[in-house]
Amino acid sequence: MIAADRPVLKVEGLARHFVTKDFFGREVHRVRAVDGVSFSVAPGETLGLVGESGSGKSTTGRLILRLDDPTAGQVHFEGQEITGLGKGQLKAMRRRMQVVFQDPYSSLNPRMRVGEAVAEPLRAHRLFKTAAERRERVAQLFQRVGLDPRFAERLPHQFSGGQRQRVGIARAIAVEPKLIVADEPITALDVSIQAQIVNLFMDLQQEMGVAYLFIAHDLAMVRFLCHRVAVMLRGRIVEMASTEQLFADARHPYTQALISAMPIPDPDRELARQRIFYEAVTPPQEAQLQEVSPGHWVLSS
């Protein structure tokens, strides 16, 4: 069991509203992309964040990474409140919190050799004294993620999607972070490659004890990979539980609908599968998460 007492990440009342104003500065439209989200992630744990498109998953990730600033709420990373940190402190924090994006192609510089891309964070954080030591470390990292170290001289376009994502992962683990925010890291890959990359994530976690916030669409993958799952709907978490609890005993109608939409790899049972439909409604502002059994939280309606 994973100790939840000293979380690596703790998010409290996090909100990000996007406001459109007219010529006179009057508010004409407000998107509550994230609207009062709280959760924590324990060291070495994987928390899955799922929900329909536009439910606020990526925005939540960006707020945690400090790529965006919240309208309200706090992010505590390793016990430190990070939403107010200045540049220098942010840099120190970034060494311990890394990101893997959905599309490794757009997150890698097309003109930079991939070995350089992996070495970049090592250089930025001055982790090695000499270029030779850095190269040695890059070669190790390549091997660790299943790439031939000789590929370090290549450019991103010379790789397949799966290989590029391995480069992205090597770059993320180079500085031995405590948390990786992974925003749909397998969604863009061929199905045959997805399982390999998921296995790589799991192996690295075993070895390094790194925690993941894993943003995903594919519930089957989430079920396989995540210790706990938080379900988002219109900027709110509507249900959060251990993976077993969530799949055995989903309480919120939106979670039930998501689970009922999962295909079953058995033709007889697939034929008999009953879909539950749920007309998504924005949860009422005053709704609160309630603990229905230990560790299982459901948004009241």
Ligand X SMILES: Nc1ncnc2c1ncn2[C@@H]1O[C@H](COP(=O)(O)OP(=O)(O)OP(=O)(O)O)[C@@H](O)[C@H]1O
Q: How far apart are CA 167 and CA 162, in angstroms?
A: 9
Compute how many residues bind Mg ion; rule: CB under 5 A. 1
- Tell me: does residue 243 bind ligand X (CB under 6 A): no
Distances (CA, A) of 218 to 23, 215, 258, 260, 296: 42, 9, 10, 13, 21
Q: Which residues have a Cβ under 8 Å from the Cβ of 281 and sit 6 or more positions away?
A: none
Q: Please, what is the minimum distance in Å from the beta carbon of residue 184 to Mg ion?
A: 6
Distances (CA, A) of 14 to 39, 71, 134, 288: 9, 8, 38, 14
Q: How far apart are CA 266 and CA 167, in angstroms?
A: 35
- Tell me: does residue 194 bind ligand X (CB under 6 A): no
Q: Which range touches ligand X (CB under 6 A), out of 5-13, 49-57, 124-132, 199-207?
A: 49-57
Q: Which does 98 bind (CB under 5 to 8 A by kind): Mg ion, ligand X, none?
A: none
Distances (CA, A) of 15 to 35, 37, 132, 236: 4, 7, 45, 9
What residues from 196 to 225 belong to the interface with ligand X (CB under 6 A)? none
- Tell me: does residue 181 bind ligand X (CB under 6 A): no
Give burial (CB, 10 Å; 0-12/13-18/19+) of 65.
buried
- Tell me: does residue 236 bind ligand X (CB under 6 A): no
Q: Please, what is the minimum distance in Å from the beta carbon of residue 104 to ligand X?
A: 16
Q: Using alpha carbons, select from 170, 85, 165, 164 the residue that is nearest to residue 120.
A: 170
Binding string, 16-45, against ligand X, x = CB under 6 A?
--x------------x-x------------
Q: Please, what is the minimum distance in Å from the beta carbon of residue 55 to ligand X?
A: 4
Please, which residue, 58 or 163, has the CB nearer to Mg ion?
58
- Tell me: does residue 58 bind Mg ion (CB under 5 A): yes
Please, which residue, 45 or 184, has the CB nearer to ligand X?
184
- Tell me: does residue 53 bind ligand X (CB under 6 A): yes
Cite the beta strand spans of 95-136 per DSSP E: 97-100
Among 45, 46, 59, 77, binds ligand X (CB under 6 A): 59
Q: Please, what is the minimum distance in Å from the beta carbon of residue 216 to Mg ion?
A: 10
Please, which residue, 102 or 245, has the CB nearer to Mg ion?
102
- Enumerate binding residues for Mg ion (CB under 5 A): 58
Q: Which residues bind ligand X (CB under 6 A)?
A: 18, 31, 33, 51, 53-59
